Amino acid sequence: MLLYLDIDGVMVPANSWRKPEILEDGFPAFSTMAIKSLNKIISNTSATIVLTTSHKHTYSLNEWCTIFNRRDISIQEIGRLPKNTNHLNRKDELIRWFNASRSKDKFIIIDDDKSLNALPKNLKEKLIQTSGSVGLTDYLADEALDKIQKLELTTN
């Protein structure tokens, strides 16, 4: 199971009135609610995170593992989309990725990007869209687990 994950607006709520706390590794702290919610998804699915965030190439994959582990999210493996050299919006970046990918892995997408509302139906039905100012919640984690369970039933 792959979890295509954005950071800003998902793990770090985007509130213009409040600057996020930056931790010693130079990256913002994740919200407590988002940490709990992501851990719920990971512990129930053993999902591998694939970063879709605009920050995905700011750090090496090992540094990303450290960033998540320091924030109490235990991950062993992490991936990321290729560099977005064409400066595509998130929707087009994901469509390009899925069109080029030969992966048969089951997946969900967790993101706050509104361009994803225009994803093709086969991708949009796997989208969990957060409110950018709130981020990932327990309710959305349950919604993600429901989608994952339905994926498991339809592909087995």
Convert the pLDDT of each residue in 102-140 to its tens digit: 777 789 999 999 999 999 999 999 999 999 999 999 999
CATH code, 128: 3.40.50.1000
Residue-number span of the structural domain to which 59 is assigned? 2-155
Beta strands in 22-154 (DSSP E): 48-51, 78-80, 107-111, 127-129
Number of folded domains that form the chain: 1
Query: SS3 string of 28-60?
Result: ECCCHHHHHHHHHHHHHHCCEEEECCCCCCCCC
**Angle of helix 138-155 versus helix 32-45 axis, rounded to 10:** 20
pLDDT at 17: 76
Convert the pLDDT of each residue in 41-82 to its tens digit: 999 998 999 999 999 999 999 999 999 999 999 887 899 999
Confidence grade of residue 155 (pLDDT, cut at 50, 70, 90):
low
Residues 103, 74 contacting (CB under 8 angstroms): no
pLDDT at 103: 73
